[in-house]
Amino acid sequence: MDGPYIRVEESGDVQQLDAEVTTIGRGEGTDIRLSDPSVSQLHAELVRRGPYVYVVDLGLSLNGTRVNGRPIARRVLEEGDVISFGTARCRIGGLPSEELNPDIELRRGAAPELTRRELDVLTSLCRPALSDEAFVSPATAREIAEDLVVTEAAVKQHLLRLYQKFRIPEGPNRRTRLANEVVALGLVRPMPVLDRKRKAS
């Protein structure tokens, strides 16, 4: 088989990863459908960059995504890696055999220029995902508005501009995809809970 592919361990089904993005989940519209109840409707994406593939957990599942047993948000895959979506296990194959540094390989081009307010919106958006609780969805527009003491309409305008700046295409889970991109680029950092409480008091 030429190029990267994924094998579902339970069924033995093998799917070639020809598309740039392959969606995985329990929902009918996903490219690779897993019937396991621990898998979300839309659980993760496999993104192909030339001969390489990385996996992105979409943050919508309580059970998360693991590579070789370790929870991940986003990770470059190597030949033979076992990916667990909830408890459903798959194995990746057909990848180049050289050693890859998962951190370096994911660094894309420089981040777009952002205003101070846009950075505030991104920090608030990603805050739940950067907390100690695993697999939390990013903040909603309403939660960001409450956090920044602005209107929900203003937050939605900022988010629309941010989707354009980060080239996040329309579609489901756009906020989650934006948050994943921002965290992967290292633009936001976790804010210690104690500091937040001290600030609020």
**pLDDT given at position 201:** 44
b/e code 6-30 from CB counts within 10 Å (16+ = b):
bbbeeeeeebebeeeebbbbbeeeb
- Provide the 8-state DSSP code for 195: H
pLDDT digits over 65-105, tens only?
A: 889 988 887 888 999 999 999 899 999 999 887 665 555 44
**pLDDT given at position 198:** 42
Q: From residue 177, give the alpha-carbon distance in Å to each of 23, 59, 79.
A: 13, 9, 25
**pLDDT given at position 197:** 41
- Provide the 8-state DSSP code for 68: T
Nearest to residue 92, comparing CAs of 77, 102, 106?
A: 77
Mean pLDDT is highest, among 57-61, 94-98, 157-161, 186-190, for 157-161
Instruction: Please provide residue 110's backbone torsions phi and psi, each rounded to the nearest 5 degrees.
Output: -60, 150
Q: Where are the alpha helices (DSSP H) in 25-115?
A: 102-106
Q: Is residue 15 pLDDT above 70, yes or no?
A: yes
Q: Is residue 186 pLDDT above 60, yes or no?
A: yes
Percent of the chain whose predicted confidence (pLDDT) is above 70: 81
Nearest to residue 106, comparing CAs of 55, 69, 175, 178?
A: 55
Sort 79 into a burial class: Cβ within 10 Å, 0-12 / 13-18 / 19+. Answer: middle
**pLDDT given at position 137:** 80
Q: Find the range with the poorest average confidence among 23-32, 49-58, 135-144, 177-186.
A: 177-186
What is the side-by-side order of every strand in the sheet holding 5-8?
A: 14-16, 5-8, 88-93, 82-85, 65-67, 70-72
For the whole model, what pTM was predicted? 0.53
Q: Are 77 and 54 in contact (CB under 8 A)?
A: yes
